[in-house]
Structure 1
Amino acid sequence: MESQGKKLGEGDGGRVTARLLKAHTGEFALDSILLLKLRGLGLVDLGCLGECLSLEWLDLSGNALTHLGPLAALHQLTVLNVSHNRLTGLEPLAACESLQSLNAAGNLLAGPGQLQCLVGLRSLENLRLQDPLARLSNPLCASPSYRAVVLELLPGLKIIDGERVTGCGSELYQLCRDLDNSLQPSPCPSSRATEAQPWVEPGYWESWPARSSSILEEACRQFQATLQECWDLDHQADESLAQAEQALSPARAPSSFVF
């Protein structure tokens, strides 16, 4: 589909058209599109993208965009990736009041002034301006104090460049802290081994916040599937340990072997 989309993008002169959008999504009505991936299509003009009024998740990374004008109409947009483009400003995003996560790494944002338009976005919690693994950054990231400046400008942020910056964080963050603490050597080591204890209380993962969007619904579904895989692996590990203990028991005949 991506190779087909690339040909369509090139055929449309790097402009987003209804034809390109329908080819990528299979939707006949543009205002029915919820999730859209237009990565690496050589786009220079967002064209009719502003007609996707229900859009919640949008990936425009790896293009040649210099402006985001049509995005001002996307009031339902929650997640936006415009990394690896040629943007010098983000002004149209001031109208995207539902925006929660923005990846703008790998652009030409020169200073904090280019982020002033984000001040009114009260839902914005996650902002990425550089990605060392992908070797993407912005000129403003060259300043050693840029993170502090960004936080002063946008105090509602919880995550900058993939790192949590405020509070103890979510249950997952707290769980990671608990795991770290559990791996620290004890100041008074005991000669007796203690039975392993669960890291979290029973039912810890069963309580979920109210799901307010299709994106959150899908994230919860995928996370539940991952948890189920972990539980299955845990069950298999318990069975393997039980078999190993039985095989190594002194009651076994000396001629028995474990493979």
Structure 2
Amino acid sequence: MDSKRDNNKEQEGEVEKITAVLLKSHSGEFDLESILFLKFRGLGIHDLGCIGDCMNLERLDLSGNNIVNLAPLSSLRLLSVLNLSANRISNLEPLHSCENLTNLNLAGNIISSIDHLLCLQSLRKLESIRLNDNTYNYSNPVCRNVSYRTIVLEMFPTLKVLDGERVVGRGSDLYHLCKDIDDTIKAGLYKNGQLVEHQHCKPWVEDTYWEIKRSNNAIVEEAYKQFNDILHECRLLNNRATHAISQSERSMSLKKQPKQYAI
């Protein structure tokens, strides 16, 4: 009865626990160690089960579930991108061994203290972390701390993007500060809409310097990553479809062959 109930839940799009069967059916792989990408978004998962057996997993989306315990993720040493948004996570300790993590989304959980982030300081490759997402109204209690951004940036000197905003390069706070100063200088060159010719100060840089290029736009970068994820899924589906068609054609050709009788 329990297995029948679990099958019904999977058919309805709800999964309580990640199993080997579920991993293989979602990835199209027969070997768990061959799985590189997984997306289990909004399935009601609360038990990560045997996901730690996917030793070569590189990208994992577990957003919109009921996950509390991250222990099974501790063995995923090659994991690079991890989305855990909209769950019930407070303890991040198991992630300290995911040494290849570069992009981590934790928005919409119950992380209440800066101290809970200390275990992530060993992640030397971490470039992007999200604890707050205004687009979906996801946050964490820790984000209410008035010094939250300053403390997080000091804790993680390798960060390039915090909560979807660049913290280095032209998207940083320094960029906005310098631009505001230049705008103020330009405004001082005019009086009543007329250029004051005796002013000789010039902006620090050319106007075109402030144009944000595509490669510096964190939103575009994230969209590009998501597009690649979808493209990868399409390729997997295409391979599975091609395999199924090949098997069907082979089966039909065997049926059409004339029967041979021994004389």
Normalized against structure 1, the TM-score is what?
0.63
Given the alignment, which residue of 42, 67, 80 partners 2:82?
Answer: 80
Q: What secondary structure sits across from 1:134 in the alignment?
A: coil
Given the alignment, which residue of 133, 136, 139 partners 1:134?
Answer: 136
Determine if contact 1:9/1:41 at 8 Å carries over to the other structure: no
Match of 1:42 in 2: 44
Given the alignment, which residue of 123, 126, 138 partners 1:124?
Answer: 126
Determine if contact 2:38/2:61 at 8 Å carries over to the other structure: yes
Distance 1:97 1:71, change over 3 A: same
Structure 1 or 2: more helix by fraction: 2
Determine if contact 2:70/2:92 at 8 Å carries over to the other structure: yes
* Aligned equivalents of 2:92, 2:99: Cα separation in 1: 14
* Aligned equivalents of 1:6, 1:111: Cα separation in 2: 39
Determine if contact 2:40/2:61 at 8 Å carries over to the other structure: yes
Match of 1:256 in 2: none
**Which structure 2 segments of 5+ residues have no match?**
1-6, 196-207, 215-223, 232-263
Match of 1:225 in 2: none
Offset at 1:23?
A: 1.3
Counterpart amino acid of residue 97 in structure 2: A
Determine if contact 2:9/2:15 at 8 Å carries over to the other structure: no
Distance 1:83 1:12, change over 3 A: closer
Query: 1:1-259 counterparts in 2 under 5 A?
Result: 7-8=9-10, 14-168=16-170, 219=228
Counterpart amino acid of residue 38 in structure 1: F
Q: What secondary structure sits across from 2:143 in the alignment?
A: helix
* Aligned equivalents of 1:73, 1:12: Cα separation in 2: 25
Counterpart amino acid of residue 139 in structure 1: P
Counterpart amino acid of residue 90 in structure 1: L
Determine if contact 2:89/2:111 at 8 Å carries over to the other structure: yes
**Which structure 1 segments of 5+ residues have no match?**
190-198, 206-214, 223-259
CA RMSD of aligned residues (A): 3.2
Offset at 1:19?
A: 0.9
Distance 1:83 1:54, change over 3 A: same
Counterpart amino acid of residue 34 in structure 1: L
Match of 1:240 in 2: none
Offset at 1:24?
A: 0.8
Determine if contact 1:9/1:15 at 8 Å carries over to the other structure: no
Offset at 1:160?
A: 0.4
* Aligned equivalents of 2:115, 2:99: Cα separation in 1: 19
Match of 1:196 in 2: none
Distance 1:136 1:9, change over 3 A: farther
* Length, aligned pairs only: 184
Determine if contact 1:6/1:41 at 8 Å carries over to the other structure: no
Determine if contact 2:36/2:57 at 8 Å carries over to the other structure: yes
Offset at 1:12?
A: 8.7
Return the index of the structure with the highest Cα Rg: 2
Distance 1:162 1:10, change over 3 A: same
Percent sequence identity is 50
Distance 1:46 1:54, change over 3 A: same
* Aligned equivalents of 2:135, 2:171: Cα separation in 1: 24
Determine if contact 1:9/1:16 at 8 Å carries over to the other structure: no
Q: What secondary structure sits across from 1:119 in the alignment?
A: helix
Question: For residues 93-145 of structure 1, what are the alpha-carbon distances to aligned partners after superposition, in whole Å with 9 as ceiling and x for unaligned?
Answer: 10000000000000000011110111010100100001111010000001121
